[in-house]
Amino acid sequence: MTTQAVALPAERRVPRWLVLVAIALGFAVLGYVLRLAAYLEAGWEPHFSAYPDGLCRWDCQWYANLAKYGYDTFPVPDMIDAGNWAFFPLFPAIVGGIRALLGGLQVMNVATAVSITMSAAAALVAYPLFDKNLRAYTLYAAFLLCGPFSIYFTTFYTEVLFVLLTNCVMLSLQRSRYLSAGAFAGLLSATRIVGVFAVFAIALQWLIDYRRAGGSWRGIVPEIIRKPEIVLAILLAPVGCFAYMAYLHSYMGDALAFQHVQRAWGRVPGNPLLYLWIGLTDMPDSGFWPSTNQWLGLAAVGGLVVTGVLAWQRRYPVAVFALISLVIPLSAGMASMLRFVVALSPVVLPVIALLARWRWLFIVSLVAFVVSDYFFTVGWLSEWLALV
Q: How far is CA 126 from the centre of its chain?
A: 12
pLDDT the model gives residue 7: 46
Is 232:179 a contact under the CB 8 Å cutoff? yes
3-state class of 80 per DSSP? strand
Question: How does DSSP assign 284-335, residue by residue?
Answer: -SSSSSPPHHHHHHHHHHHHHHHHHHHHHTT-HHHHHHHHHHHHHHHTT-ST
- What is the residue-averaged pLDDT of the chain? 90
Is 83:76 a contact under the CB 8 Å cutoff? yes
CA-CA-CA-CA dihedral for 110, 115, 116, 122, to nearest 10: 150
pLDDT the model gives residue 46: 74
> Has residue 238 got a pLDDT over 90?
yes
Q: Which of the residue ranges 178-187, 280-289, 316-325, 368-377 would you say has the lowest mean pLDDT?
A: 280-289
Choose among 373, 311, 290, 304: nearest CA to 344.
304
pLDDT the model gives residue 4: 45
Spatial distance between the Cα atoms of 82 and 75, rounded to a whole number of angstroms: 5
Is 241:194 a contact under the CB 8 Å cutoff? no
pLDDT the model gives residue 83: 75
What's the length of the chain?
388
Question: What pLDDT, in 10s, does the model give residues 195-208?
Answer: 999 999 999 999 99
pLDDT the model gives residue 78: 62
Is 261:210 a contact under the CB 8 Å cutoff? no
Is 71:85 a contact under the CB 8 Å cutoff? yes
pLDDT the model gives residue 343: 96
Q: Is the pTM of this model over 0.95?
A: no
pLDDT the model gives residue 3: 41
| Domains in the chain: boundaries | 16-387
Spatial distance between the Cα atoms of 55 and 378, rounded to a whole number of angstroms: 10
> Has residue 387 got a pLDDT over 70?
yes
* Between residues 65 and 79, the one the model is more confident about: 65
Q: Which of the residue ranges 133-137, 285-289, 309-313 would you say has the lowest mean pLDDT?
A: 285-289
> Has residue 80 got a pLDDT over 70?
no
Choose among 306, 301, 286: nearest CA to 348.
306
Is 190:147 a contact under the CB 8 Å cutoff? no
Question: What pLDDT, in 10s, does the model give residues 256-277?
Answer: 888 877 776 667 788 899 989 9
